[in-house]
Amino acid sequence: MKGVVVRREEVDEETQASMYELFCRQFDNVPYAKFVEDLKQKNWVLIMRQDEGLLSGFSSMHFYDMTIGGRELAVVYSGDTVVDSDTRGDSALSYYWMGAIDYLRRLHNKDELLWFLLVSGYRTYRFLPVYSDYYYPRYDEPTPGDVKFIMDTVARDRFGESYDADTGVVRLAVPSILKGRLRGIPDNRLTNPHIAFFAERNPGHDQGDELVCFSILTEDKLTDIGRHMWTKGRQLFPDTRDE
C-alpha cells in the first residue's frame, strides 16, 4: 500500500464513495449522508491505495488549535479509520498514519500534538499501549487531573450532551457499530490487562459506545515500536509546505 495525506476538500466524490463502501464492510448503521457529514468536520484525510490504485484504507483527521485552561493546545482528532480486511496485517497504515501526523505537526510548526480519539473496538484501543508510552485512560494508573480536564473539555466541545464525563464514554445518536464478525471481544483476549480494562470501562462497546482516549504525540513519548513507525513515516513525508 501507498498513502498520501490531502486536505479534506480535495477528496473527490468518487473517492468519497469508495471510502464509504470500504467503511460499510466493517461497520453497520451509518447512512451515507451521515458519513459525509462526519467527513466534512475533518480537514485532512490519509488515503491508502494498492499499487493498481484501488482504495485500501483511509483515516480522517481534524487538526486544530484549542484554548484549554488558558493554554493554546494543538489537537488532532481521529475520525473514521478503516483498512481493507485483506490487508489488515499490513503495517503500512500505521507508519503512514504516524508519518501523516508528524507531517501535519511540522506543517503547523507545533512541538507536540494532543491526540484525541474515540474507541469502540478493542483492536483500536490496543494501538495505544503498543505505540505510546503516554496515553489515558489505562489500567495501570489513574488519569491525571490535568489530563482528565483536557479530555472532558475537548469531548464536551465536540459532542455536547452525548459525552458522559463520569464514565468517559460518548453515546452517539447514530453510532458506528462493528459488523458481527468484528463485534465483541473473544474470551481469550480478556486475559490481556489492556483489553480487560477497555471492556470494563466501555461495557457498551458492542453497541457502538465510544471511549474517549488521549495521548501526547511527540517522539519522546512513544514506545520503541512507535518511534520506529514515526521515523519510517517521516521518510514518507519528508518535506513541509506552506499552509
Question: What is residue 87's predicted lDDT score, i.e. its pLDDT?
Answer: 57
Q: What is the amino acid identity at position 85? A: S
Q: Is residue 168 part of a domain?
A: yes
Q: Is residue 212 part of a domain?
A: yes
Q: Is residue 241 part of a domain?
A: no
Q: Is the predicted pLDDT of residue 89 greater than 50, yes or no?
A: no
Q: Is residue 243 part of a domain?
A: no
Quickly state the pLDDT bin for 91 (edges 50, 70, 90): confident
The CA distance from 153 to 166, in Å, is 13
Question: What is residue 86's predicted lDDT score, i.e. its pLDDT?
Answer: 66
Q: Which of 85-89, 96-100, 129-133 has the lowest mean pLDDT?
A: 85-89
**Domain containing residue 14:** 2-236
Quickly state the pLDDT bin for 205 (edges 50, 70, 90): very high
Measured CA to CA in angstroms, residue 174 lies from 40, 44, 74, 153 at distances of 16, 23, 28, 22
Encode pLDDT of 14-25 as tens digits: 999 999 999 999
Q: Is residue 194 part of a domain?
A: yes
Encode pLDDT of 164-201 as tens digits: 999 999 999 999 998 888 889 999 999 999 999 999 99
Q: Is the predicted pLDDT of residue 242 greater than 50, yes or no?
A: no
- Number of folded domains in the chain? 1
Q: Which residues are within 8 A (CB) of 120 and not within 5 positions of it... i.e. 6 or more apart?
A: 175, 176, 177, 178, 202, 205, 208, 209, 210, 211
- Supply the DSSP symbol for 141: B
Angle in degrees, CA 179, 180, 184, rounded to 5: 100
Question: What is residue 133's predicted lDDT score, i.e. its pLDDT?
Answer: 95
Q: Which of 102-106, 209-213, 235-239 has the lowest mean pLDDT?
A: 235-239
Helix (H) or strand (E) holding 152: helix 145-159
Q: Is the predicted pLDDT of residue 240 greater than 60, yes or no?
A: no
Question: What is residue 223's predicted lDDT score, i.e. its pLDDT?
Answer: 95
Contact 116, 101 (CB under 8 A): no
Mean pLDDT of the chain: 92
| CATH number of the domain bearing residue 108 | 3.40.630.30
Total Cβ atoms within 10 A of residue 20: 18
Question: What is residue 181's predicted lDDT score, i.e. its pLDDT?
Answer: 81
Encode pLDDT of 24-33 as tens digits: 999 998 899 9
Q: Which residue has the higher pLDDT, 240 or 61?
A: 61
Q: Is residue 242 part of a domain?
A: no
Encode pLDDT of 129-166 as tens digits: 999 999 999 999 999 999 999 999 999 999 999 999 99
- Nearest CA among 63, 60, 36 for reference residue 47: 60
- Nearest CA among 79, 18, 9, 12 for reference residue 48: 18
Encode pLDDT of 39-69 as tens digits: 999 999 999 998 888 999 999 999 999 999 9
